[in-house]
Structure 1
Amino acid sequence: MSAVSTHIPLTLASASPARLATLRAAGIEPAVRVSDVDEPAVLARTGITEPEDVALLLAKEKAEDVARTVEREYLDQDDEDDEAPEPGLVLGCDSVLDLDGVALGKPADAQDAVRRWKEMRGRSGRLCTGHWLIDLRDTENGGTGGTLGAVSITTVHFAKVTDEEIEAYVATGEPLAVAGAFTVDGIGGAFVSGIEGDHHGVVGLSLPLLRDLTTELGVAWPSLWTGK
């Protein structure tokens, strides 16, 4: 059977509703597993600070953590237990905003979000989204054992919002839950005056980049579509 005609399951190692929605809109219904990665501890241990490297490292750590869990559950299942599906691909993602060379993840609190927006307004930053893909398939099912990643980079131009608009936006709670303290597909969309690059990368998951990664693993993109 060809790769296109055989469905390959994907596990998303992320709790992000936006990433899940992006995959679903692209015809992919992933399993969702959230990693136990302690991001500050990882960064402290490695000493990595460059925004692109931070995004890729954290995406890799999340993918590997979930991949270990998925593999363990599959190997530990009883012969008659069909609860754990056969492992397919595991995708980890992480986004940070590069503003003046500093990697900005989620704000610590509302005060931090307000401060950031006062620095960001009227300026531009680079949204770096790391992607890490792991192939857990058995070799007899076409598995490669491959593990690889890449970073999507999109330039984001922020509008010259007022203090009142910043306060109102932060009060919605949305900026506290997302990297860079903004969204382009939510309440904060009106405060983004333009982007240069992949829109999906700003949302949190670049579909074109993910397709490139699956292709490198020998996986045809249509084989990820639900119902194949």
Structure 2
Amino acid sequence: MTTFILASASPARQAVLTAAGIDALVHVSGIDEDALAAANPTALPADLVVILARAKAEFVAGALREQHPDAVVVGCDSMLHLDDELIGKPHDEATARRRWAQMTGRAGDLLTGHLVLRISGGVVTSTASGTCSTSVQIGDPSDEELDAYLATGEPLAVAGGFTLDGYGGWFVDGVIGDPSSVVGISLPLTRRLLREVDIRVTDLWRTRPGAEGNGHQGAVNK
């Protein structure tokens, strides 16, 4: 059986996969995303999210290919594109507050980049990458609501400073495109990329809805 490895620390991405029938092995790359983005200042927005996704996937593949010689590794990265700027994770409350002042009542493009890497017999045999863009209409929270949202800590560690599937969902007025990409992993794009490396997504599913996992669920090196 091919092991599905998610090169991401995001519990939201894992939850999307679990709900869609895949029990992913999670391994965090530890890549410094801000440093890598700074090292690629001329990259186009759609290219930069793939560069970051590639770095994560390649790091994890190198760490796990002996332990999991037949696997597919999926790297992911997301950023909000607004005002010709890519907005990543705020990391602190002051930055998140500034981002929300910029985003409130406006629409931005959530760019999600994926890199799918196939390992066969302990050797990387093929890769596929792509990006999808989803328009997100941000709402207009009151000052009290924004204070409460920032106090949860949730927006500090997510692209753009908001979520669709958590507390932030209260302040997202609409989505045009793939909702799963806003959560962090685009199911349609991942399916297409898996097909490019000769893996059918249906072969990675649990045998039936609600069945026990295949033993790969959980986190490694969190």
Query: Normalising by structure 1, what TM-score?
Result: 0.86
Q: Which residue is equivalent to 1:50?
A: 44
| Aligned residue among 79, 83, 96 for 1:96 | 79
Q: Which residue is equivalent to 1:127?
A: 110
Q: Bigger shift: 178-187 or 163-172?
A: 163-172
Q: 1:37 Cα shift?
A: 1.3
Structure 1 unaligned segments of length 5 or more: list them: 1-6, 75-83
Measured against aligned partners, the alpha-carbon deviations of 1:173-205 in whole angstroms (never above 9, x if no partner) come to: 111121110011111111000000000000000
Q: Which residue is equivalent to 1:170?
A: 150
| Aligned residue among 56, 64, 75 for 1:62 | 56
Q: CA 1:214/1:180 → structure 2, altered by over 3 Å: closer, same or farther?
A: same
- Counterpart of 1:195 in 2: which secondary structure? strand
**2: CA distance, partners of 1:108 / 1:50:** 23
Does structure 2 conserve the Cα–Cα contact (< 8 Å) formed by 1:33 and 1:66? yes
Q: 1:144 Cα shift?
A: 7.7
**2: CA distance, partners of 1:49 / 1:112:** 23
1:141-156 alignment runs, 5 A limit? 145-156=125-136
Q: Which residue is equivalent to 2:177?
A: 197
1:21-40 alignment runs, 5 A limit? 21-40=15-34
Q: 1:47 Cα shift?
A: 2.3
CA RMSD of aligned residues (A): 1.7
**1: CA distance, partners of 2:82 / 2:108:** 5
Does structure 2 conserve the Cα–Cα contact (< 8 Å) formed by 1:13 and 1:33? yes
**1: CA distance, partners of 2:126 / 2:185:** 20
Measured against aligned partners, the alpha-carbon deviations of 1:103-124 in whole angstroms (never above 9, x if no partner) come to: 1111031011111111111100
Residue identity matched to 1:189: G
**1: CA distance, partners of 2:189 / 2:60:** 21
Does structure 2 conserve the Cα–Cα contact (< 8 Å) formed by 1:144 and 1:217? no
Residue identity matched to 1:195: V
Does structure 2 conserve the Cα–Cα contact (< 8 Å) formed by 1:154 and 1:196? yes
Measured against aligned partners, the alpha-carbon deviations of 1:35-71 in whole angstroms (never above 9, x if no partner) come to: 0212222223232453322211100110011111112
Query: Normalising by structure 2, what TM-score?
Result: 0.88
- Counterpart of 1:219 in 2: which secondary structure? coil
- Counterpart of 1:40 in 2: which secondary structure? helix
**2: CA distance, partners of 1:60 / 1:26:** 23
Among all aligned residue pairs of Structure 1 and Structure 2, give the percentage whose two residues are the same amino acid.
46
Q: 1:161 Cα shift?
A: 1.9
Structure 2 unaligned segments of length 5 or more: list them: 208-213, 215-222
**1: CA distance, partners of 2:93 / 2:140:** 19
Count residues in correspondence: 208
Which one has a larger percent strand, Structure 1 or Structure 2? 2
